[in-house]
Amino acid sequence: MNKVTKYPISALLLLFACTVGLFGSNRQLLAIALGFFAYVYFLKDKKIFYLAFVLIATLFHYSAFLYVFLLFLDRRISDKIWMVTIVVFLLLNITGFNLKIFNFIIYNFAPEKISDIIRGYNTGFPEMQSNYYMFIIGIIRRSLPIFLMIRYKNFLQDKSYYQLLLNTLFFSLATYVFFFGKLEYMSSRVSIYFIIFEIILYVWLIPVMNKIYKKNYYLLFLILLASIEFVKYVFSGSSPFIPFKTLFFSF
């Protein structure tokens, strides 16, 4: 974390609040950790080492393959292209073609083991009723860091990996729009890989807000964001999810 921000402790605290509900998904968390460790090699332009660690991460969870897409995101991509892509994905979602396209790709081009897993998800999950309220909230949450990056780009674009992070956040929003609804199980799998990149952006902005004398307001915003995410995960089920329960009061 200290390779990408001057405030690693703040980043880790915010990351904890935004991922507490994932505790127990050990294989995927290990895959995320290895993928982010590989990110350091990506920034150093050591793509072979990057791919090697991504390959190791896929041994823990196949979804870590998503990190391969970063190889195509470290270049200038117009914001207009991203917006058109998101609108197209939204239309595909509304019409149901997203499910047909996804299944066609998986069943015809993915390894047999992965296609079998996807078939299990398709038959094992009941058809999900689209909650458009949560869909809009999800879009707003993923759009906010993009808006902040563009709003304060004069302070941030001197960073060598500004474009990579911006494209990654756009990619996160686009995949969320594509997978939401009937492919919601994929949306949840995909989204958690990008939370850490949102955290990087939020922490990047701390010195920026200090320069423009808005640091106190911004810190209040981060505390509010962390609190909302933490409460959302802890109280999302029928009973509170307490990640350290077995450690502290079950002996």
pTM of the model: 0.78
- Those residues whose C-beta lies under 8 Å from the C-beta of residue 217, and which sit 6 or more positions away, are 209
User: Above pLDDT 70, what percent of the chain?
Assistant: 75
pLDDT of residue 106: 80
What's the pLDDT score for residue 18? Answer: 66
> Six-digit token pair at 207?
């010195």
pLDDT for residue 246: 46
- pLDDT score, position 166: 93
pLDDT digits (tens, 9 = 90+) for 103-129: 888 888 777 777 776 666 666 555 554
**pLDDT confidence of residue 250:** 41
100 class by beta-carbon count within 10 Å (0-12 exposed, 13-18 middle, 19+ buried): exposed
Torsion of CA 143, 149, 150, 152, to 10 degrees: 140
* CA 88/CA 78 separation, integer angstroms: 16
**Ranges of each domain in the chain:** 8-248
User: For the chain, which residues score pLDDT lower than 70?
Assistant: 1-5, 7, 9, 12-13, 15-26, 117-131, 184-185, 188, 233-251
Rounded Cα gap, residues 97 and 236, in angstroms:
30
- Look at residue 248 in the predicted model and tell me its pLDDT: 44
